[in-house]
A and B are shown apart, each in its own frame.
Chain A
Amino acid sequence: MSSKSINLTLKVWRQQGPKAPGRLETYKAENISTDASFLEMLDIVNERLTLEGKEPIAFDHDCREGICGMCGSVVNGRPHGPQKETTLCQLHMRHFQDGDTVYIEPFRARALPVVKDLVVDRSALDQIIAAGGFISVNTGQAPEANSLPVPKDKADLAMDAAACIGCGACIAACPNAAAMLFTSAKISQLALLPHGRPEAAKRALAMLAQMDAAGFGNCTNHKECEMECPKGISISNIARLNREFLKAALASAEEIPAATKKE
């Protein structure tokens, strides 16, 4: 590590609450070590704001290891910033130049309303999972773990999809604010495993209906989601979702749920 210090100008989205108007405010981030992470840079700015008697910038974060999916903002127009396959907490300041101006905004989508500053409400994603992103097995019902072998290539593909951290960057990146990459990752994971097949049709129909009801858009193959996904989730999962949906809609006995209105 060769450490040095840089000075930045930040343009940060400040918004007091969901209904309040927001605006970009300018702050100086001075004497920032290039070994600091992006969120540590925000910590430093927040400590200085606090000491000046100002309210610090609200942003979600927790594990700071790139796995909890809590953090994420749009940095210079890109969800989680410029580095490929990197969450904001894992982005380090060595990727910025002294004197840079950095724009920091919340993830924007109708279905992810701003709570405050950079914090957004992602509960719509939980609702998509609640609609069918599971295998219906109660504790105690499971057969012996090795009773159903899973081909290694299928297990690996399922793991690739299961790596989704539910951060919402795919939605923020998509011009349609679609949640297709998020939804397809869960549908793919469970559809690829033999354990998930019995409910595959029902799952695809229910999760997509909920996705529509929550106000997310649909995929028109811009591929921005794959480009910005911090976990490198492939859009081939969206193709698999489409196949699962078509199979379910045309060839299964499952009824297509009527789109339910969002509360």
Chain B
Amino acid sequence: MLQLDAKIPGGPLETKWDRHRFDLKLVNPSNKRKFEIIVVGTGLAGGSASASLAELGYNVKTFCIQDSPRRAHSIAAQGGINAAKNYPNDSDSIWRLFYDTIKGGDFRAREANVYRLAQVSNLIIDHCVAQGIPFAREYGGLLANRSFGGAQVSRTFYARGQTGQQLLLGAYSALMRQVARGQVKMFPRREMLDLVVVDGQARGIVVRNLITGEIERHTAHAVVLATGGYGNVFYLSTNGMGCNVTAAYRCYKKGAGFANPCFTQIHPTCIPVHGDYQSKLTLMSESLRNDGRVWVPKKAGDKRRPEDIPEDERDYYLERIYPSFGNLAPRDISSRAAKRMCDEGKGVGPTGRAVYLDFRDAIQRLGQAEIEARYGNLFQMYERIVAEDPYTTPMMIYPASHYAMGGLWVDYNLMSTIPGLFVLGEANFSDHGANRLGASALMQGLADGYFVIPNTINGYLAGTKFAEVTESHEAFKESEAEVVAKVKKLLSIKGKRTVQDFHRDLGHVMWEYCGMGRTDEGLTKARKLVADVKAEFWENVTVPGSHTDLNQSLENAGRVADFLEFADILLLDALARRESCGCHFNEAFQTEDHEALRDDVNMAHVAVWEYAGEGKEPIFNKEPLNFEFVKLATRSYK
């Protein structure tokens, strides 16, 4: 069994983080030079961690699969970043941001972690402004805010519709400044294929150089994993094409617990699926729901064009069912409502799997120029893809796989169950419970990287004895041999189906049986179907080219192979969670109004899966969630 000590400091919630920082051992400035830290991934979490650790004087080696550390998928986050500044004077506070986040996550996150997140949120805004991030401003020159789902206050800071891009470029520029100083050594186009554990400590990684195909060994005193989420297990998702579970999954196989894998967020506002050649789905920012109204025709099967449907024959169902939050109901709730409308035959568009997001009233109220200023780039993106003008015809949207709340288990220090392996950002499980609120992913990625890890890693490095480990250590040889064997195996199968074809099959199964509505029968069936896809993959996949140069088919084959194994843990976790909460909706557990029905007596825990060896069922562990400061309440947005 895993040792799941969350190391949550005692005492009042408001002072836990301060006390913890005081209690942690420190590394003095001259000793920091003696430590090497590996950071894998250069999204918001990895980029900000690399820069901040290097600023402290640590020797950092940073790896990413892209050609540059400016491209990770954090860049595609559109709407904004939350902070408890309370600039609009609308009664926001650290406590309210904490409470909204805990409630938004359907009471399945740790109080102490979430409170710390809310506490450092304000520091993030200060830091990003100082970095030169061009946040939206009022005419007086002060920062502007807007509102987002799951909150009744305006606490979201934004840079037009490309907040993620601007924040990531800020972290990237800070990282490149440290590269120029020689404090970070940057390794782009490298894919981590194994974690190297020596005497129970994470001491390095094995990577494949994606240009030359060489397998490289890198040692360190600690490894920081910031490799994002696994939404591409659904094949079609809003994730970038390269997003994958491989690094996290290899850590799992080396002993890191995987927490709450079934908590996968389906985002309500994406451009609907329209063809089987489609490679990804595009998100339309939740911020659009500030001004857009979601509706379907009242009558099932109504095929009239939207402009021909009179006002009294439209059902603005979010406003009707959730009057106090309206179109800004949280993501899980909005997604399920859209699915329900389409299941009832009220869906629109060529496939009937879409609902309208209509800006007519907002344009009448504010004028087209104002709407363009707020959402211009999103409207343009929609027009490029769909070839319809959303200023005159309502957008069509449908939910799609977007974000993974689940991830590797970490304690309060963001350390996994493997000593010396830290996990940040979307790759960990810690802050969003069963559902993430909008504009909270950017906040968490940067909180972890800029403000948490630079503190907590000191405690580990100062309090740990390190043996001398070089690249020729036996553990590196074994890891490399395994990696090479797998690469060669993939190339040797020479079957009849492409990697993408298998990925598409996996995605169909996962979306059908483990998407917005789950049942025990469906999940059980899906386990069998996934096992079949996996078995065929290893007999019938074809991977062209060689392993000695740039081979994108080979890269993708390795990632899909890991998704095929990982999917089973996701399904198992969904089966084991005997309740509905947040984004996890098992149809057997619902209220009369079709809302999620939690079981706080038996299910208020983190489910943590432990690798038990090839072909064996993973071992279930749990970390109980103790709520000392908030009262567990039925989550209502009505």
Contacts and interface: CB of A to CB of B under 8 A. Distances in A.
Contacts of B277: 33, 36, 40, 43-44
Contact of B126 (A36, A70, A143, A156): A143
A90 B48 CA distance: 29
Contacts of B134: 155-156, 158-159, 162, 189, 193
Interface in A106-162: 115-116, 119, 121-123, 125-126, 129-131, 133-146, 148-152, 155-156, 158-159, 162
A263 interface: no
Nearest to B138: A152
A47 interface: yes
Main secondary structure of the interface of A (DSSP, over half): loop
A11 to B, nearest CB: 21
A136 B177 contact: yes
A94 B279 CA distance: 17
A196 interface: yes
B76 A67 contact: yes
A223 interface: no
A77 B11 CA distance: 66
B129 to A, nearest CB: 4
Q: Which of A60, A91, A139, A141 has the most CB of B within 10 A?
A: A139
Given A39-B279, A40-B277, A62-B71, A137 B130 contact: yes
A56 interface: yes
B85 A145 contact: yes
Interface in A139-196: 139-146, 148-152, 155-156, 158-159, 162-163, 165-166, 189-190, 193, 195-196
B381 A56 contact: no
Interface in B44-85: 48, 51-52, 55, 66-73, 75-76, 85
Given A1-B274, A139-B51, A129 B176 contact: yes
B173 A40 contact: no
Given A50-B544, A63-B240, A122 B159 contact: no
A63 B287 CA distance: 20
B45 to A, nearest CB: 13
A136 B178 CA distance: 10
A63 B76 contact: yes
A16 B52 CA distance: 39
Given A145-B143, A159-B159, A133 B279 contact: no
A68 B75 contact: yes
A140 B242 CA distance: 32
Contact of B137 (A54, A150, A165): A150
Interface string B136-151: 1111111100000000
B142 A196 contact: no
A129 B173 contact: yes
Contacts of B73: 62-63, 68
B177 A152 contact: no
Nearest to A192: B134
B192 interface: no
Interface in B380-415: 380-381, 384-388
Contacts of B98: none
A65 interface: yes
A134 B85 contact: no
Nearest to A128: B176
B381 A131 contact: no
A207 to B, nearest CB: 11
A126 B176 contact: yes
Interface string B273-295: 01101111011000000000000
Contacts, number: 226
Contact of A65 (B76, B160, B278): B76
Contact of B279 (A43, A122, A142): A43
Contacts of B450: 139
A165 B380 CA distance: 16
Interface string A47-76: 101110111101011111111111000000
B459 interface: no
Nearest to A33: B275
Contact of B386 (A1, A43, A134, A189): A1
Given A68-B73, A122-B67, A145-B129, A56 B552 contact: yes
A171 to B, nearest CB: 14
A39 B385 CA distance: 13
B504 to A, nearest CB: 10
B542 interface: yes
A35 interface: yes
A134 B454 CA distance: 21
A218 interface: no
A86 B383 CA distance: 11
Contact of B176 (A130, A158, A193): A130
A68 B498 contact: no
Contacts of B55: 138-139
A67 B275 CA distance: 23
A22 interface: no
B456 to A, nearest CB: 14
B368 interface: no
Contact of A145 (B126, B179, B211): B126
A195 to B, nearest CB: 5
A135 B211 contact: no
B500 A141 contact: no
Given A135-B130, A137-B130, 9 more contacts: A39-B279, A40-B279, A63-B73, A68-B240, A115-B550, A139-B51, A139-B52, A142-B126, A162-B166
6 contacts: A1-B350, A39-B279, A64-B279, A65-B282, A123-B188, A155-B137
